Chains A and B, each alone.
Chain A
Amino acid sequence: MATLTNSQTTKVSARSPSLSLGRREALTGWLFVSPILAGFLIFFLGPLVAVIGYSATEWNLLSREVTFVGLDNYTHALTENDTFWTVLGNSLIFAVGLVPLNMALALALALSMSAPFAGRVVFRTIFFAPVVTSAVAWAIVWKFLLQGETGTVNQLLAVVGIDGPNWLRHPDWAMVAVIVTRVFKTVGLNMILYLAALQAIPRDYIEAASLEGASRWQIFRSIIWPLLAPTTLVIMVITVVGSLKVFDHIFLMTGGGPENGTLVLAFYIYQQAFEFFSIGFASALAVIMFLLAVVLTAVQLRLKGGL
């Protein structure tokens, strides 16, 4: 913010002589932002207000009857509907399982990629490849690999004498399988963000420390890790909010099953709205998701200290 205000003051003094010029300038500014702003109002802010309105109604798309019910959809979700708590729990388990695994692996990969060695670019290319592969393709291939007896993963496990479960239909393993395959899909992005931050650390710091006789672990613990803290925060929020959005991956791999075992909030909204047509209830779920995302974004801006 500070830079913005400074540059504006210089600007003002440079072109204060004519007032009409300033007015023209403002007009140009509004003109330039107007397409994006109009789109934002029509396709984001308007719908956001609308979804809050919808959430106060009982509205089934098939019966076409809309009745105002106040906060009933919320009380229904929070007190009467067991599925809601299962779904919220699943979203939580998904985030709690995915985020630390993703970040730890990303950091480990970034650290191992930060010093030059023969073939480094090849490995970096490999670890990042799933990020540019479509999530749908990734989910389809892993679903194929993780089938019951005929699945390739289990066939390979059988070679070493392990009798693998039917991963995607097993009440305990389905969530694990979904989380781990999602980590492989997205960890490359976080690796790149960590790598960029690692390369920004001045070499002298590390060289000085190692001349002083610090071990590799000590260097990591007291120099690298603290300097990575801002990056760690950004990555954490991106990954947490990203885990909230996951839909296609789960939709295609497990369909939310077995017995709602992998049904997460994004999927539940889709299911209630476009499979069961309960628009009012689905809208209440969307508002809950909005609030979750706002809290997480606010935390990020807070921690980064403004813009």
Chain B
Amino acid sequence: MTVALPKWLVRASWYAMLCSLAVPFVFPLIWMISASFKGPAEIFATPPTLVPETMRWSNFVEVFDHQPFARQYFNSLYIAALVSGLTLFFSSLAGYALARIRFAGSILVLVLLISALLMPDEVTIIPNFFLMRELGFMNTHAPLILLPVFGSQGVLATFLMRQYFMSLPRELEEAAYMDGLSRFAVWWRIALPLSRPALAAVGIITFLNSWNLFLEPLVFINDVSLFTLPLALSNFSDGYGLPLWHLQLAATSLAVIPTLIVYVAAQRQIVESFALSGVKG
């Protein structure tokens, strides 16, 4: 760059580079939406068409005929909401105790929990399979709720909350405590309202993790009407086991687009949540 290039040229090549880099990130999503409007023939047309010749809205209707898709959508939504709520409650309670309350063994608890922090679910999935079978939870949603809330995801949430509580000034809580509030009340009325950023971060990450969970539904759920979205999306084939691409992509669009809309609307908040989890975790 010793010779000064015209400024517009530098700018133009900068944007050209970024745009071409962006292609593999957005193109699949655009193509997915385009293909979900195509029929089984046009989907493989040469040359490929970006805008479908005829908009087959019927794909989106057939998705619901092929599987109980509305039911599966609801399953994913309520499980993710429940998992997030329970995780926020239990992990902020435990995280608060580990950050603020002095008790014998607190460091042992912390070290124990940290051992599960990065552990892949595959390590414990086999015994958990037998445990859930003993408890009569096979082919129910209980494993999809219990394992994320109390497994490595819950531990990560606890750890993040603990780190956040540690960073808060303790004077306010001390004063309330001296005034006779119980520990529980101090946590609920003073500490929690001060930790909205951390709660939002943990809530967003937990919701997305549950929403995208695949291994556990695959292992624990057999009944199509109990499927969650990731499992439902992988289950589009005809009677001969051949993929029904147009329906599968229509269903995938239906599952992904709402997430993307929420993401674009709240992208600053969501991106910051992930930044927090990585920096602290």
User: How many residues on chain B are close to A (CB under 8 Å)?
Assistant: 95
**CB-defined contacts of A297 to chain B, threshold 8 Å:** 115, 117-118
Question: When chains A and B are docked, how far (Å) is the Cα of A147 from the Cα of B267?
Answer: 32
Contact: A43 with B124, CB < 8 Å?
yes
Is A68 an interface residue, CB under 8 A from the partner? Answer: no
Given A36-B154, A135-B214, A152-B31, answer yes or no on A123-B22 (Cβ-Cβ < 8 Å): yes
**Residues of A with C-beta under 8 A to B211:** 134
Say yes or no: A51-B260 contact (C-beta < 8 A), given A32-B96, A145-B28: no
Closest chain A CB from B108 CB (angstroms): 10
Assuming the contacts A33-B97, A36-B158, asked whether A269 and B122 have C-beta atoms less than 8 A apart, the reply is yes
| A12 interface residue per 8 A CB criterion | yes
| SS of B interface (majority) | helix
**Chain A residues with CB below 8 A from B35, complex form:** 144
A91 to B72, CA, bound (A): 33
- Quick check: is B206 within 8 A (CB to CB) of the other chain? no
Is B172 close to A, CB under 8 A?
no
Binding-face segment, A79-87, A94-102, A164-172, A282-290: A282-290
Residues B22 and A126 in contact, CB atoms below 8 Å apart:
yes
State the CA gap A25–B97 with chains docked (Å). 10
Selected from A4, A26, A127, A145, the residue in CB contact (under 8 A) with B103 is A26
How many A-B pairs with Cβ below 8 Å?
Answer: 278
Interface string of A117-156 (1 = CB under 8 A from B): 1010101111111111111111011101100001010011
Interfacial chain B residues near A244, Cβ < 8 Å: 120
Residue of A nearest to B147 (CB): A43
Determine the distance from Cα of A266 to Cα of B123 in the docked complex, in whole angstroms: 9
Report the contact-size class of chain A (Cβ under 8 Å from the partner). Answer: 35 or more
Chain A min CB distance to B136 (Å): 15
B151 close to A51 (CB less than 8 A):
no
Known: A40-B155, A247-B215. A196 touches B120 (CB 8 A): no
**Residue B74, interface by CB 8 Å:** no
Min Cβ gap B5→A in Å is: 15
Known: A127-B22, A129-B29. A136 touches B122 (CB 8 A): no
Contacts of B215 in A (CB 8 A): 247-248, 270
Q: Which residue of the partner chain B has the closest CB to A1?
A: B107
Q: List 25 A-B contacts (CB under 8 A).
A: A4-B107, A4-B166, A25-B183, A26-B101, A28-B101, A29-B97, A36-B154, A36-B158, A39-B149, A43-B150, A44-B151, A44-B152, A44-B155, A47-B124, A126-B26, A127-B21, A133-B256, A137-B32, A140-B252, A152-B48, A155-B48, A193-B275, A265-B122, A296-B118, A297-B117
Known: A36-B93, A40-B116. 20 other contacts (CB 8 A): A26-B102, A28-B97, A28-B183, A29-B102, A32-B97, A33-B93, A33-B98, A37-B113, A124-B271, A126-B25, A128-B267, A134-B229, A136-B229, A155-B46, A159-B47, A193-B279, A270-B215, A274-B129, A286-B122, A294-B115
